[in-house]
Every structure is written in structure tokens, then in C-alpha cells.
Structure 1
Amino acid sequence: MIKKKSIILATLLLMGISLPSIAQIGEQRNNFAIGINGGVNLNTVSFEINNAASSQSKIKQNMLMGITGGLTARYISEKYFAMICGLQVELNIAQKGWDELYETADGQKDLSRSYVRNMTYLEIPFLAHLAFGKDRGAQVFLNLGPQIGFLLSDSEDAEGWTNEQMNIQKEYGKKIENKFDYGIAGGLGLEIRTKKAGNFLLEGRYYFGLADFFGNTKKDPFARSANRTITIKLSYLFDLKK
């Protein structure tokens, strides 16, 4: 895991170095746009059980659906050959968490019990924006960069469990110990740019969380507890400066 984090951070560092270099030799642009975004989150949590501290088995999950939305600001600084280069930052409210999956002895879904943890975050992604296409018309784009988040609220909804059973599941009733979240976000999308009506974007994005929201020491029940999110969103941007 440490090696994987190092590779990801090194990639981001190289991107940060290469983008200014491109800016020095590319065709200069000066386009600043702002707007709104909204969409759907499909969230799971990457759990790793600490066997030294817990006898709990693997946590199976359904995808938990939530909403996301907020503000977007984007600055396009240059065009290098066919590639349009810029930076994008967002301020979003996002619903995350997890929905546990239970099965009967014959492998069927057990509908007699459920557990859902709902977590709401304030999220700020800082993204490199790379696009290919026409200044007016269709563009295909890639967004990639770090993202941070702050937990605003969380709640749990459990049904069909006795107190004894809930004591076995260590995540039940457990407080969130780390409210600061961070990770890597990346997405692909299509943008339609118009002259008067603004710019319309459709994007599919994946967030790979690097922070654990539960404690992860040897005495804690979980060695890993990080968000994994698939987001499908629509954005509308209008140009302030061209």
C-alpha cells in the first residue's frame, strides 16, 4: 500500500512539473469559466479487517447511491498542439458511506436485516484539465488530481439486529475518528461548447480514497477504511474571460 501511494504521489508531482513546462511552449490561452455541477455518487468503502484485534469476517457491500453537487471554476491557460491544458477546482457537497450486504445460508440476499452508514462531506478536488477538440463544438477531456474532504455529518440506519449481534459487528455505533479525507480523483468526459449558451459537460469520475476514517492501529478492528466513489455528473460553465 505504501508503494502504491508513493507511485500516485510521484505521478501527481510529475504532472505539476510538466504543466508549467507546457505553458511555456504552448499557444497561449486566457479562458476563465465558472458554473455549477450536480450528479450521483455510487459509493463503497474499502475495509480491511485487523485479524489481531477482531474476529469479524469480511464486510460485503451493495453500492450506496447518494447525490453530489456544487460549484466549479476552470482556467484554460494554453493549447499545446491538439491538447488544451488548464486547471479546475470544485467545491462540492457529497453524500457517501456504505450499504452492507447480507446473505442467507443458501447464498440468497437476506432482506430481514440491513445496515447503512450515511456520510456527508464537503469536498474540494484540484484537477488538471486536459482536453482535445474544437474551441466551439465537442471536446473530449480528462480531469486528474488530488482531492480533499471534510466530514460534515454522519448517521447510521440498522434494522433486524439484536444488541448482541451488533456488538459483534465492530463498525456498528463506531464513531468516525478521522473527519479529514484525501485521495486521488480522475474522470473522463465530453464537453459541448457553444458561443452564446455556455458549456455543457458530462463526466464519469472515480475517487480513490487514501485516508482511513476509522483508527488503523494494531489495536483497532480495521486496518483500512477508505472511501471509493464512482460519480456521474453534469456541469454547466459559462465563460467570464476569453
Structure 2
Amino acid sequence: MKNYKYIGILVLAWLFTLPATAQLGEERHNFAVGINGGLNMNSVSFDPKIKQNTLNGMEMGVTMRYMSEKYFKMMCGVQMEINYSQRGWSEKIEDGSGNTYSRTMNYVEIPLLAHLAFGKDALNRGVKFFINAGPQIGFFLSDKEEMSDNWDTSQRPNGVTEQYGKAVENKFDYGIAAGAGLELSTGIGHFLLEGRYYMGLGDFYKSTKKDYFGRSAHSYIGVRATYLFDITK
């Protein structure tokens, strides 16, 4: 996991320093705000491993974007969001008991993303392709466990049951988010459709040598739609 952290830091550093190293471009001062909403397909990376199905959760929030410059056909900016995000996991229990278990975990998350767009200028109408990438932090709010009525953990083939009823120990989350999508700019605003991946680098359970779990990190693939309207051009 340390290698992933180093690679992520290098990629993010390159994205955020790209405008500074490129040739001087056309200045932009386009600030837009709006709302976003979508679906997260969640899982958790556990060590020891826990078999899982995808747990779907909603995500919604506000988006703020500042486009600063244009280099040839690439437009550069920064995008920040404040979102309510549902995460967690759903277990794939194959012990013949018919048990089901899932935990939905609610977070406020704040991604700060480099925004690179290609195609029609954001000031004009048209379609363009964009890439978002950057760090993301989150703050745990609450969670809810759901299990079947005939709950019985005596037949678990891998013997991993420590997670049941275990409270979140680390409420601060951090990781790397990256996505890509299409934007349609019109006379009434900007409409964006994006697919995004989040890889958590922090664990929500303690992970020292004396703790049971060595890894408990969120990840999700999300699909979201965003509407932005211009404040300044």
C-alpha cells in the first residue's frame, strides 16, 4: 500500500504543477457553482479478507469550479466539492446459513481536484471531455448495520467476525479520487456526467500490530451528474 501512496502523490503533484510548467496560456477567470448527485458502488478493502457484494449508496452535494487558463486545446482549473456520501460494504456469506449482512456508513467528503478539459471552451456552447484528479478527505458521521433475523456466525468458513458490532475507530478518512466524463455547456449552464473512482488510503479501524484488522479502507466507483452555473466569466 505504501507504493500506491507514493504513486498517487507523484500523479497529483504532476497534475497540479502542469499549468506552471506549460507555456503561458490564455487567462480565464470563470467561476461556477452548482449541485451534484449520483450513486456510489461501494466496497471495503479488509485484511483479513472479507468476501463482498457491491453495496450501493447515494451521494449528493455542492460543486465549485474555477477555470484559470487555457493551453492550446486544454483548459485548466480547480474543482472543490462538499458532499454527503454513503459508503460501506455488503458481505457475501456462503456458509449455508442464509445470513445477510451490510453496513452503510455516512460521510461528509471534500475532494479538491485538478480539472483538465479538452474541446469547446467553457465560455462557449458545446461539448468537451474532462478529467478530474486529486486528494479527498472525509469525516465519518454515522453508520447502520443490517443483518438477517436468523443471525448466526458459528459457521463462518473464514472465521472473520470481528467486524460485527465493531464501532468506527478512525473518523477521519483520506484518499485519492479520479474521474472522467463529458460536459455540455449551454446558455443556461453546464451539464456534466462523470464516472469516478475513489481509493481510500486510511483505515476506519485501528491497524497497529496488536489490532485485528491490518486494513479497512473504503473504495468506490461512482456515477454522478452535476449542474453548474456561471458566477463570473
> Which of 215, 223, 226 matches 1:232?
223
SS, match of residue 220 in structure 1: coil
Could you tell me how far 1:218 is from its partner in structure 2?
1.5
> Which of 106, 125, 145 matches 1:120?
106
Residue type at the aligned position of 1:183:
G
> Which of 147, 152, 174 matches 1:158?
147
Write the deviation string for residues 168-222 of structure 1: whole angstroms up to 9, x where unpaired: 6010011111010000000010000012x11100000000000000111122121
Write the deviation string for residues 42-68 of structure 1: whole angstroms up to 9, x where unpaired: 00001111xxxxxxxx31101000100
TM-score (norm 2): 0.92
Could you tell me how far 1:10 is from its partner in structure 2?
2.1
Structure 2 unaligned segments of length 5 or more: list them: none
Distance (Å, rounded) in 1 between the aligned partners of 2:116 and 2:4: 24
Distance (Å, rounded) in 2 between the aligned partners of 1:187 and 1:140: 11
> Which has the larger displacement, 83-92 or 216-225?
216-225
SS, match of residue 171 in structure 1: coil
Regions of 4+ moved over 6 Å:
none
Write the deviation string for residues 11-62 of structure 1: whole angstroms up to 9, x where unpaired: 212322223334x71111110000000000100001111xxxxxxxx31101
Distance (Å, rounded) in 2 between the aligned partners of 1:7 and 1:74: 26
* Aligned counterpart, 1:182: 174
Distance (Å, rounded) in 1 between the aligned partners of 2:37 and 2:227: 9
Distance (Å, rounded) in 2 between the aligned partners of 1:165 and 1:73: 50
* Aligned counterpart, 1:137: 126
SS, match of residue 59 in structure 2: strand
Give 1:48-197 correspondences, 5 Å limit. Answer: 48-49=47-48, 58-104=49-95, 112-135=98-121, 136-159=125-148, 160-162=150-152, 169-195=161-187, 197=188
Distance (Å, rounded) in 2 between the aligned partners of 1:139 and 1:64: 31
Distance (Å, rounded) in 2 between the aligned partners of 1:151 and 1:30: 34
* Aligned counterpart, 1:16: 16
Residue type at the aligned position of 2:88:
G
Distance (Å, rounded) in 2 between the aligned partners of 1:17 and 1:48: 35
Write the deviation string for residues 131-181 of structure 1: whole angstroms up to 9, x where unpaired: 011122001000000000000101211223237569960100111110100
Residue type at the aligned position of 1:141:
F
SS, match of residue 172 in structure 1: coil
> Which has the larger displacement, 124-133 or 164-173?
164-173
Structure 1 unaligned segments of length 5 or more: list them: 50-57, 105-109
Identity percentage over the alignment? 55
SS, match of residue 222 in structure 1: coil
CA change 1:103–1:164 in 2 (3 A) is closer
Decide whether the 8 Å contact of 2:99 with 2:152 is kept in 1. Answer: no
* Aligned counterpart, 1:55: none
* Aligned counterpart, 1:47: 46
